Structure 1
């Protein structure tokens, strides 16, 4: 499976052929890059649990997860979601409001609010399923996460532009763990000072990617459009939000 995802795995990762080693816990691939580190674990979550995750997280009062063209559903914010409070946000650009090309939800400890792109998110309380996911991550990351941003890409039309997760409340050198379910999507990183230096990973059903070190200060990442993909993808990025007194 690993060779299928990386055509040049024997030579390394990305345009600079970064090499990998097996992490100390014995699973996956640890990729050391300038100013950071990536840990990639294919099928970190068992397929049966990953399948069930999609059923539970998208349960609502009107539509079936796998039988709906979600880009034709105009009332996502009005649906009664059973387990995750999905919401499609809007941002203002050049005096006009634009709907974000993805649907999101924010969960975490009380008081751990998060602001990005002018959107202020207040956390919903942890659900048992999210707490279980967090527990699995902390076994391999040795890091405490107090919040999680869930992004739902309804099809390959939904995307995430180039950015860094370097907001002040994330603290210095944040560790961010990304769990992925549903359709595999391209995840691309590039150096801030050299856009030709790129690493691309296809993150699939149950896969885990952890970003560590100074990565957020020196590398950008994105989830580009993929027009041929018609089905959805769920991404959860677990983070640690710091209060002002902790910074």
Structure 2
């Protein structure tokens, strides 16, 4: 599988250095309201372009179809999912999962257990407004940590009940965003389509067990 990735000028270590995680101490929190918050850390992963190349070639990507508006349509992105206890496709992802688990242990009270991967091939790929409410996320506060590699794309968040501003964060090239508190129940998020020329991006979502 081949996708043209425009490298980041900020990924200074270069692909020969290999992917490596930075410290989590500089992560910044934004309180969204209704008990929800997001933490953001730009460039947490150095060598993100190298990881993108490894994942795009090494992950068993699959296309899905689902029913929408009384017809079956293609899901506009490629997907992969790694269950609890299943080996992740690159060692640095296991390091990221464990580092996030250690950092958020006091708040989350449990480890991050699964990893879902989405490949957005170009600006036509997207994900509609939703919350990760399958399983416990529908009734409990939880966390979803998103590590992005490849071309930056906007992640939008808005209150589920309406009446509030839309929050926009651009994620790519090793950026980290964590959604916590009631975020999955009281807010929803989306990656919109882009009319312009946009390169590929991979999103890695770490979740506790029983949250999808």
Same fold (TM over 0.5): yes
Q: Say whether residues 1:208 and 2:176 are aligned partners.
A: yes
Task: Summarize the Cα distance change of 1:237–1:91 in structure 2 as closer, same or farther, 3 Å threshold.
Answer: same
Q: Say whether residues 1:37 and 2:4 are aligned partners.
A: no
Q: Say whether residues 1:141 and 2:104 are aligned partners.
A: yes
C-alpha distance in 1, partners of 2:131/2:121? 22
Pick the aligned partner of 1:155 from 89, 114, 122. Answer: 122
C-alpha distance in 2, partners of 1:238/1:26? 19
C-alpha distance in 2, partners of 1:195/1:235? 28
The size of the alignment, in residue pairs, is: 181
Q: Radius of gyration: which is bigger?
A: 1
Task: Tell whether the 8 Å contact from 2:156 to 2:167 is kept in structure 1 after alignment.
Answer: yes
Of 100-109 and 227-236, more deviation after overlay is shown by: 227-236
Task: Tell whether the 8 Å contact from 2:82 to 2:116 is kept in structure 1 after alignment.
Answer: yes
Report the counterpart of residue 152 of structure 2 in structure 1: 184
C-alpha distance in 1, partners of 2:132/2:196? 28
C-alpha distance in 2, partners of 1:222/1:199? 11
Q: How does 1:82-161 map to 2 (within 5 A)?
A: 83-109=58-84, 125-129=87-91, 130-142=93-105, 143=108, 144-161=111-128
Structure 2 residue matching 1:58: 3-state secondary structure: helix
Task: Summarize the Cα distance change of 1:230–1:242 in structure 2 as closer, same or farther, 3 Å threshold.
Answer: closer
5+ long unaligned stretches in structure 1: 1-24, 60-82, 111-123
Deviation at 1:237, TM superposition (A): 0.7
Report the counterpart of residue 51 of structure 2 in structure 1: 53
C-alpha distance in 1, partners of 2:117/2:188? 19
C-alpha distance in 2, partners of 1:187/1:94? 24
C-alpha distance in 1, partners of 2:101/2:209? 15
Deviation at 1:32, TM superposition (A): 1.3
Q: Could you state the TM-score of these two structures normalised by the residue count of structure 1?
A: 0.68
> Which protein has greater RCO, CA pairs closer than 8 Å, 6+ apart?
2
- Residue deviations 1:142-172 (CA, integer Å, cap 9, x gap): 3511101100000111001001111124461
C-alpha distance in 1, partners of 2:37/2:71? 38
Deviation at 1:183, TM superposition (A): 0.7
Task: Tell whether the 8 Å contact from 1:109 to 1:126 is kept in structure 2 after alignment.
Answer: no
Structure 1 residue matching 2:53: 3-state secondary structure: helix
Task: Summarize the Cα distance change of 1:94–1:198 in structure 2 as closer, same or farther, 3 Å threshold.
Answer: closer
Deviation at 1:229, TM superposition (A): 3.1
